[in-house]
Every structure is written in structure tokens, then in C-alpha cells.
Amino acid sequence: MSGRLLLLNGPNLNLLGTREPGVYGTATLADVERLAADAASSLGFELRAVQSNHEGVLIDEIHAARHDCDGIVINPGGLTHTSVALRDALTGVGLPFAEVHISDVYAREAFRHHSYLDDVAAVRVVGHGVDGYAEAVRELAAFLRHRES
């Protein structure tokens, strides 16, 4: 199967590789986008990568994806734990999506344990570091392939 995936990174993920290496590692956002694009291309998918610190921009990108993407890989950052609007955008467009978290949110503060997306995500990869993005791409591609057959 060939197709296109949207990779969305939410607030503060532009800081990857510059601070908190003990929690998020040393890879930069550019490294993450490259590794996800490589994983996608090895499976015959193109990948468009967008990072934004603004909830509305992320929602606009999700809406636009319904015209040209087959699925979405998203690390919503802190919006994971707060945003009904992001959930509504994802369920509204109806594209299958993978929720990724670099850190193990369940081993951190209690406010990170709740996700507004966990019950509607097709795939979840939590706490596998930045390699989790490649894993999410592979699992989402497998989900799409299985759905097509």
C-alpha cells in the first residue's frame, strides 16, 4: 500500500534535544521527523511533518489531512492531558491515528496519566523514547494495510 501520513508534534516538542535529556533524550525534532519519514518511506508512505505550539494550528492541520492523508501520527505534548478540542478534531476527521509519547507518562506525575485520546487511538506507543515514532509509523501502516484487505 502507498499513501501519506501526517506527523504532528505539539507544544514544546520543538525543544527536543535542547533541554531535559534525562526525560526526552538527546535527539532533536529534526532527528525525530527524519526517523519517522524513513520508517514511512520504507513502507511506501510519504510523511508530512508539522510541529506547532498552537492548538488551533494542530486542529487546522488535522482538518487539512482529511483531504490527502491516510492516517496521523501525533505526539500532542501537554495537550494530551487537557484538550477535548484536539480529540474532537481527530474523531471528527475520522482518520486512524497513533498517539506517541516519548516518556513513560504513567511513571510520571498523576496529571500525565490521563489522556483525552487513549480510547480513540488506533495505536499507542508510550515510553519507548524517540524510537517510538518509528514504531508508531509501522503499527499505523500495518493497521491501514489490515483495514484495506
Binding region for ligand CA2 (CB under 6 A): 12-13, 15-16, 19-20, 24, 75, 77-78, 80, 101-103, 105, 112
Looking at this protein, which amino acid is placed at residue 19?
R
Q: How far is the CB of 85 from ligand CA2 (least distance, A)?
A: 16
Catalytic residue among 24, 63, 113, 114: 24
Please, which residue, 5 or 9, has the CB nearer to ligand CA2? 9
3: β partners: 45
DSSP string, 90-128: HHHH---EEEEESS-GGGS-GGGS--SSTTT-SEEEESS
Is 144 within 8 Å of 122 (Cβ atoms)? no
* Whether residue 24 lies in the annotated active site: yes
CA distances from 39 to 20, 89, 138 (A): 26, 26, 7
- What is the nearest approach in angstroms of ligand CA2 to the Cβ of residue 88? 19
Q: Residue 29 Cβ, how far from ligand CA2 at the closest point, in Å?
A: 9
Query: Could you confirm whether 101 is annotated as catalytic?
Result: yes
Enumerate the active-site residues: 24, 101
